[in-house]
Structure 1
Protein backbone atom coordinates (compact mmCIF):
# COMPACT_ATOMS: atom_id res chain seq x y z
CA UNK A 1 0.00 0.00 0.00
CA UNK A 2 1.50 3.30 -1.07
CA UNK A 3 0.73 6.28 1.12
CA UNK A 4 0.01 9.69 -0.28
CA UNK A 5 2.69 12.32 0.22
CA UNK A 6 0.39 14.09 2.69
CA UNK A 7 -0.12 11.02 4.95
CA UNK A 8 2.49 9.73 7.41
CA UNK A 9 3.14 6.04 8.10
CA UNK A 10 1.03 6.23 11.27
CA UNK A 11 -1.89 7.68 9.32
CA UNK A 12 -1.54 11.33 10.41
CA UNK A 13 -2.66 13.91 7.87
CA UNK A 14 -2.75 17.66 8.29
CA UNK A 15 -6.20 19.01 9.12
CA UNK A 16 -7.93 20.74 6.21
CA UNK A 17 -8.91 23.74 8.32
CA UNK A 18 -6.02 26.06 9.07
CA UNK A 19 -4.70 26.69 12.58
CA UNK A 20 -4.84 30.28 13.85
CA UNK A 21 -2.62 31.96 16.40
CA UNK A 22 -3.72 34.13 19.35
CA UNK A 23 -4.07 37.12 17.00
CA UNK A 24 -6.30 35.22 14.57
CA UNK A 25 -3.54 34.94 11.95
CA UNK A 26 -3.17 31.71 10.00
CA UNK A 27 -0.18 29.65 11.25
CA UNK A 28 2.10 28.81 8.31
CA UNK A 29 3.57 25.62 9.84
CA UNK A 30 1.04 24.44 12.48
CA UNK A 31 2.07 21.88 15.10
CA UNK A 32 0.01 19.11 16.64
CA UNK A 33 0.71 16.82 19.60
CA UNK A 34 1.18 13.12 18.90
CA UNK A 35 -1.85 11.24 20.30
CA UNK A 36 0.11 8.60 22.25
CA UNK A 37 3.76 9.77 22.53
CA UNK A 38 4.41 12.81 24.74
CA UNK A 39 7.88 13.31 23.23
CA UNK A 40 6.67 13.49 19.62
CA UNK A 41 4.67 16.03 17.64
CA UNK A 42 3.71 16.79 14.05
CA UNK A 43 4.44 19.87 11.98
CA UNK A 44 2.44 20.60 8.84
CA UNK A 45 4.75 22.42 6.42
CA UNK A 46 2.77 25.17 4.71
CA UNK A 47 -0.25 23.66 6.45
CA UNK A 48 -0.36 20.59 4.20
CA UNK A 49 2.82 18.47 4.29
CA UNK A 50 3.15 16.52 7.58
CA UNK A 51 6.43 15.85 9.39
CA UNK A 52 6.82 13.67 12.49
CA UNK A 53 9.25 15.36 14.90
CA UNK A 54 10.29 14.93 18.51
CA UNK A 55 11.64 16.76 21.53
CA UNK A 56 15.06 16.00 22.98
CA UNK A 57 15.24 13.31 25.65
CA UNK A 58 13.98 14.69 28.93
CA UNK A 59 11.41 16.99 27.35
CA UNK A 60 7.87 16.51 26.06
CA UNK A 61 5.76 18.49 23.61
CA UNK A 62 3.56 21.17 25.15
CA UNK A 63 0.59 21.73 22.85
CA UNK A 64 -0.39 24.92 24.62
CA UNK A 65 2.96 26.70 24.17
CA UNK A 66 3.75 24.83 20.91
CA UNK A 67 7.23 24.02 22.28
CA UNK A 68 9.18 21.25 23.94
CA UNK A 69 9.00 21.59 27.71
CA UNK A 70 9.66 19.86 31.02
CA UNK A 71 7.26 16.95 31.63
CA UNK A 72 5.91 18.39 34.89
CA UNK A 73 4.59 21.37 32.92
CA UNK A 74 2.43 19.22 30.63
CA UNK A 75 -0.70 17.64 32.15
CA UNK A 76 -0.79 13.94 31.31
CA UNK A 77 2.94 13.76 30.52
CA UNK A 78 4.36 14.39 34.01
CA UNK A 79 5.57 10.78 34.35
CA UNK A 80 6.71 10.27 30.75
CA UNK A 81 10.33 9.58 31.76
CA UNK A 82 9.72 8.03 35.19
CA UNK A 83 10.98 4.62 34.05
CA UNK A 84 14.13 6.09 32.45
CA UNK A 85 16.97 5.83 35.04
CA UNK A 86 19.09 8.44 33.23
CA UNK A 87 16.28 10.99 33.49
CA UNK A 88 15.29 10.10 37.05
CA UNK A 89 18.76 11.08 38.27
CA UNK A 90 18.62 14.54 36.67
CA UNK A 91 17.24 17.50 38.60
CA UNK A 92 14.06 18.73 36.94
CA UNK A 93 14.10 22.28 35.64
CA UNK A 94 10.94 24.29 36.11
CA UNK A 95 9.57 26.12 33.11
CA UNK A 96 6.16 27.68 32.74
CA UNK A 97 4.12 25.32 30.65
CA UNK A 98 0.38 24.87 30.20
Structure 2
Protein backbone atom coordinates (compact mmCIF):
# COMPACT_ATOMS: atom_id res chain seq x y z
CA UNK A 1 0.00 0.00 0.00
CA UNK A 2 1.49 3.34 -0.99
CA UNK A 3 1.49 6.53 1.09
CA UNK A 4 -1.73 7.97 -0.36
CA UNK A 5 -3.65 4.75 0.21
CA UNK A 6 -2.23 4.55 3.72
CA UNK A 7 -3.25 8.16 4.39
CA UNK A 8 -6.76 7.50 3.05
CA UNK A 9 -7.12 4.44 5.26
CA UNK A 10 -5.95 6.44 8.26
CA UNK A 11 -8.50 9.16 7.49
CA UNK A 12 -11.22 6.55 7.10
CA UNK A 13 -10.41 5.12 10.52
CA UNK A 14 -10.55 8.57 12.15
CA UNK A 15 -14.06 9.48 10.97
CA UNK A 16 -16.30 10.16 13.99
CA UNK A 17 -19.92 8.99 14.05
CA UNK A 18 -21.53 11.07 16.81
CA UNK A 19 -22.19 14.78 16.72
CA UNK A 20 -20.24 16.93 19.14
CA UNK A 21 -18.36 20.19 18.83
CA UNK A 22 -15.06 18.31 18.92
CA UNK A 23 -16.21 15.78 16.32
CA UNK A 24 -17.35 18.57 14.00
CA UNK A 25 -13.84 20.03 14.19
CA UNK A 26 -12.33 16.59 13.62
CA UNK A 27 -14.47 15.74 10.61
CA UNK A 28 -13.83 19.15 9.05
CA UNK A 29 -10.11 18.54 9.47
CA UNK A 30 -10.46 15.09 7.91
CA UNK A 31 -12.39 16.53 4.96
CA UNK A 32 -9.66 19.13 4.40
CA UNK A 33 -6.99 16.42 4.44
CA UNK A 34 -9.11 14.29 2.12
CA UNK A 35 -9.44 17.16 -0.33
CA UNK A 36 -5.67 17.63 -0.31
CA UNK A 37 -5.13 13.94 -1.07
CA UNK A 38 -7.68 14.18 -3.88
CA UNK A 39 -5.73 17.03 -5.44
CA UNK A 40 -2.53 14.99 -5.27
CA UNK A 41 -4.15 11.92 -6.80
CA UNK A 42 -5.80 13.96 -9.53
CA UNK A 43 -2.37 15.22 -10.60
CA UNK A 44 -0.89 11.72 -11.09
CA UNK A 45 -2.10 11.15 -14.65
CA UNK A 46 -5.03 11.60 -17.03
CA UNK A 47 -6.86 8.51 -15.72
CA UNK A 48 -7.10 10.04 -12.26
CA UNK A 49 -7.71 13.50 -13.67
CA UNK A 50 -10.84 12.15 -15.37
CA UNK A 51 -12.04 10.00 -12.47
CA UNK A 52 -11.42 12.16 -9.40
CA UNK A 53 -13.80 15.15 -9.93
CA UNK A 54 -16.80 13.19 -8.63
CA UNK A 55 -15.04 12.94 -5.27
CA UNK A 56 -14.80 16.73 -5.05
CA UNK A 57 -18.59 16.78 -5.39
CA UNK A 58 -18.70 14.44 -2.39
CA UNK A 59 -16.52 16.87 -0.45
CA UNK A 60 -18.97 19.69 -1.16
CA UNK A 61 -21.91 17.53 -0.10
CA UNK A 62 -20.14 16.43 3.07
CA UNK A 63 -19.27 20.00 4.04
CA UNK A 64 -22.84 21.16 3.46
CA UNK A 65 -24.20 18.28 5.51
CA UNK A 66 -21.77 18.94 8.36
CA UNK A 67 -22.84 22.57 8.33
CA UNK A 68 -26.49 21.51 8.60
CA UNK A 69 -25.60 19.39 11.62
CA UNK A 70 -24.48 22.49 13.50
CA UNK A 71 -27.82 24.29 13.19
CA UNK A 72 -28.67 25.60 16.66
CA UNK A 73 -32.37 25.09 16.00
CA UNK A 74 -31.95 21.36 15.36
CA UNK A 75 -32.47 18.84 18.14
CA UNK A 76 -29.61 16.69 19.41
CA UNK A 77 -31.16 13.66 17.71
CA UNK A 78 -31.45 15.56 14.44
CA UNK A 79 -27.86 16.80 14.69
CA UNK A 80 -26.67 13.24 15.34
CA UNK A 81 -28.61 11.95 12.36
CA UNK A 82 -27.34 14.65 9.99
CA UNK A 83 -23.78 14.26 11.24
CA UNK A 84 -24.03 10.49 10.82
CA UNK A 85 -25.17 11.06 7.24
CA UNK A 86 -22.11 13.25 6.57
CA UNK A 87 -19.71 10.75 8.10
CA UNK A 88 -21.34 7.94 6.11
CA UNK A 89 -20.94 9.85 2.85
CA UNK A 90 -17.30 10.50 3.71
CA UNK A 91 -16.65 6.84 4.50
CA UNK A 92 -18.34 5.72 1.27
CA UNK A 93 -16.38 8.28 -0.72
CA UNK A 94 -13.04 7.24 0.74
CA UNK A 95 -13.80 3.56 0.14
CA UNK A 96 -14.74 4.27 -3.47
CA UNK A 97 -11.60 6.32 -3.95
CA UNK A 98 -9.44 3.53 -2.54
CA UNK A 99 -10.97 1.18 -5.10
CA UNK A 100 -10.35 3.54 -8.01
CA UNK A 101 -6.94 4.63 -6.78
CA UNK A 102 -5.65 1.08 -6.30
CA UNK A 103 -1.87 1.57 -6.11
CA UNK A 104 -1.71 4.88 -7.95
CA UNK A 105 -0.54 3.32 -11.19
CA UNK A 106 -3.79 2.98 -13.11
CA UNK A 107 -3.84 4.40 -16.59
CA UNK A 108 -6.99 2.91 -18.14
The one of the two structures with greater contact order (alpha-carbon pairs below 8 A, sep at least 6) is 2
TM-score surpassing 0.5?
Answer: no
TM-score range, shorter chain: under 0.3
Q: 1 or 2, which has the higher helix percentage?
A: 2
Q: 1 or 2, which has the higher strand percentage?
A: 1
